[in-house]
Amino acid sequence: MSNIKIAILGMGNVGTGVYQILQENNEEIYKYLNGDIEVEKILVRTIDKKRKISIPNELLTNNYDDILSDESIKIVVELMGGIHPALDYIKRAIKSGKHVVTANKAVMATYGKELKGLAKENGVFINYEASVGGGIPIINTLMESLAANKIEEIIGIINGTTNYILTQMTNYNMSFEEALKLAQTNGYAEADPTSDIEGEDAAFKISILTSIAYGINIPSKAIEREGITKIHKSDIDYASELGYKIKLLAVSKRCKDNIEIYVYPSLVPNEHPLASISNEFNALFVRGNAVGELLLYGKGAGSLPTGSAVLADILSVARLIKNNIGNDKNKNDKFNDIQIKGIGESQYYIRLQVVDKPGVLGKIAMTFGEYDISLESVMQKGRGEETVPLVFITHDIEKNILDKALDEINAYDFVEKIATILKVENI
């Protein structure tokens, strides 16, 4: 049978991984497809740049029109990252009748609905498995394997950078700054890690998963989120004493009349599987009304794991092309009128730094009581110092009520600061 020709946009880490897998696993790909995947063109900024792998010079171009005008190219694989110019390139490929595979979470979270609609109009496919979870096949699992399920809940560690940092803080007693520097040295964090450590990356990904699971498009900017920059290594220690690990969780839950969606650093009970996920690994805990509970686990980053997910999408589209199947499916957004909310009632971990004198704990506890906030546990550390930490875990409470109580507590002259507020995720 005929081979399928593709073009790759970008030859960074993921692009290199895709090209490498195509070369090394050529026999396996041929057996699966009964044909080859041929790289016809690769779009790069600089053609004569020294690269990690050897690529024939005739494949390289810095002119996107070379790709659009080549009718033999059936699939455009966008691996550039960022919204611009990637979004424009994807749109132009679709309008030119070319299928698209992308690993671009920012584009799909922000413009996914528009692009999927455009792909349907033009009878082509846009696949984006690698945009979430690296090598974990979460998107295809939700779209295909769990298609007969009503998805009730998705809870995940879907950012490898923050999980790596928190692992170093937990296992090796590092500060946040030390762990971040190590992550950058080992290639798990960018030179500018803001998107990861502030929770933006995870918000992009949970937006995509929510769209697939519930048929509702939620802009990532509308998602309540908090990063990990305020977590101190003392919080790691206190959480451990209380029987928890701290993880940055992305959560999407289907409630009776709303979708609860957020990204927040949370205390996870030690006995839950997500507590054991370490370093750059990702994991997604999915609950369906028929299948029950599933845990999907794997490397969430890296050129080869992400490249593997990209290749899975390429092969999926290639088989559809060979079987002459077009994109004429009509999936309705059934829940577009449903209410979106952030964190509902929850337990919280709170660390205060207070002046060490009699009556302080009693006054704070009384203030919590005035707002009907009951306390599950209280931990007081340090003696003889001018200020000491006070750690509380509340029972379930709405965040807006907790915020009002903390505003009053923070105004007391014996409270130096509210150091940390973390969610307690009892899953």
Is the residue at 176 inside a domain?
yes
Whether residue 205 lies in the annotated active site: yes
The answer to whether the CB of 397 falls within 8 A of the CB of 376 is no
Is the residue at 327 inside a domain?
no
Q: Which helix (H) or strand (E) holds 258?
A: strand 258-269
Is the residue at 340 inside a domain?
no
Position 427 scores a pLDDT of 75
Q: Are residues 21 and 43 in the same domain?
A: yes
Is the residue at 307 inside a domain?
yes
Domain range spanning residue 215?
A: 138-299
Q: pLDDT > 90: what percent of the chain?
A: 78
Which of 322, 357, 383 is the last residue in one of the domains?
322
Q: Are residues 202 and 309 in the same domain?
A: no
Q: Are residues 45 and 57 in the same domain?
A: yes
Number of folded domains that form the chain: 3
Which CATH number belongs to the domain containing residue 188 in this structure?
3.30.360.10
Q: Are residues 156 and 277 in the same domain?
A: yes
- pLDDT band for position 329 (cuts 50, 70, 90): very low
Q: Are residues 198 and 218 in the same domain?
A: yes
Position 337 scores a pLDDT of 56
Q: Are residues 155 and 283 in the same domain?
A: yes
Q: Which stretches does DSSP call E strand in 256-372?
A: 258-269, 281-288, 292-299, 339-341, 347-355
Q: Are residues 123 and 183 in the same domain?
A: no
**pLDDT (tens digit per residue) in 7-22:** 999 999 899 999 999 9
292 known ligand binder: no
Is the residue at 86 inside a domain?
yes
Q: Are residues 363 and 241 in the same domain?
A: no
**pLDDT (tens digit per residue) in 79-136:** 999 999 999 999 999 999 999 999 999 999 999 999 999 999 999 999 999 899 888 8
**Of 255 and 27, more confident:** 27
Let me know if 243 is exposed, middle or buried by CB neighbors in 10 A (0-12, 13-18, 19+): exposed
Position 330 scores a pLDDT of 39
**pLDDT (tens digit per residue) in 219-277:** 899 999 999 999 999 999 999 999 999 999 999 998 877 899 999 999 999 999 999 99
Q: pLDDT > 70: what percent of the chain?
A: 96
Q: Which helix (H) or strand (E) holds 22?
A: helix 13-24
Q: Are residues 108 and 191 in the same domain?
A: no
**pLDDT (tens digit per residue) in 138-174:** 998 998 888 888 999 999 999 999 999 999 999 999 9
Is the residue at 333 inside a domain?
no
**Over 90: is that where the pLDDT of 301 sits?**
no
The answer to whether the CB of 62 falls within 8 A of the CB of 89 is no
Is the residue at 394 inside a domain?
yes
Q: Are residues 145 and 291 in the same domain?
A: yes
- pLDDT band for position 335 (cuts 50, 70, 90): very low
**Over 70: is that where the pLDDT of 51 sits?**
yes
366 known ligand binder: no
Q: Are residues 288 and 311 in the same domain?
A: no
210 known ligand binder: no
Q: Are residues 145 and 129 in the same domain?
A: no
- Give the active site residue among 41, 120, 205, 399: 205
105 known ligand binder: yes
Is the residue at 342 inside a domain?
no
**Over 90: is that where the pLDDT of 43 sits?**
yes
Mean pLDDT confidence for 188-204 = 95
190 known ligand binder: yes
Which CATH number belongs to the domain containing residue 416 in this structure?
3.30.70.260
